[in-house]
A and B are shown apart, each in its own frame.
Chain A
């Protein structure tokens, strides 16, 4: 079955430190992969996406993610975290089934706390 796993429920980093959020997926074909961020009191916002081509993708707010087929991973990284990055981060995979809709499977989320 298709699934997305985010192994870390909570991560705390110091402001200015580097960040890596893990995402592993199980999917029968080359997936479309996404990272979304949910800031307190706000809706989910797309950070970046991978469809094909270059396995290192750049997103908004200085985030990047690398698709590693051999490891079935799509980890999110940022070289220097800012206090405003504190939020919940969701990895997602799609499409599902043969209908090629925009349905996505989401991971459980990782809550990022940033220490001053």
Chain B
């Protein structure tokens, strides 16, 4: 597709339920990132995938959060037993390369999934 696509655009769930968020990166982009944007705050790095390397999960806030990526395509972010503090916009981004030497390949962001936990 032309850009990074995320679905759903909005998700309302009850506390304690599991949710799955999907990201379709730009075709050919090897690097994929998940960020979280809480209301009134900056973007918070969650996880990074680069090709077939082990993902960098250093930003995941708890073991309730996990993410997978199939090859260099779709990624899903799963939040188990959701809590109210999980309410945020979850943003996905992709880039051609993930290494600093290739910073001429900027991050391309999707429009995000707005998650509301009631």
CB distance from B24 to the nearest CB of A (A): 13
- How many B residues are at the interface, by size bracket? 20 to 34
User: Which residues in A have their C-beta under 8 angstroms from that of B97?
Assistant: 102
In the complex the two chains form, is A106's CB within 8 Å of B43's CB?
Answer: yes
Contact with B along A23-66 (1 / 0, CB 8 A): 00000000010101000011111100101000000000000000
* Also in contact, A102 and B107, with CB within 8 A (given A43-B3, A43-B91, A44-B91): yes
Contact with A along B60-73 (1 / 0, CB 8 A): 00000000000000
Contact with B along A91-108 (1 / 0, CB 8 A): 010111101111111111
In the complex the two chains form, is B42's CB within 8 Å of A90's CB?
Answer: yes
Q: Which of A44, A102, A105, A108 contacts B98 (CB 8 A)?
A: A102
CB distance from A89 to the nearest CB of B (A): 11
21 sampled A-B residue pairs with Cβ under 8 A: A4-B42, A32-B100, A43-B3, A43-B111, A44-B43, A44-B91, A44-B93, A46-B106, A95-B100, A96-B45, A100-B100, A101-B31, A101-B50, A101-B98, A102-B31, A102-B33, A102-B95, A102-B107, A104-B107, A106-B43, A109-B42
Enumerate chain B interface residues (CB-CB to A < 8 A). 3-4, 31, 33, 35, 40-45, 48, 50, 56, 58-59, 91, 93, 95, 97-101, 103, 106-112
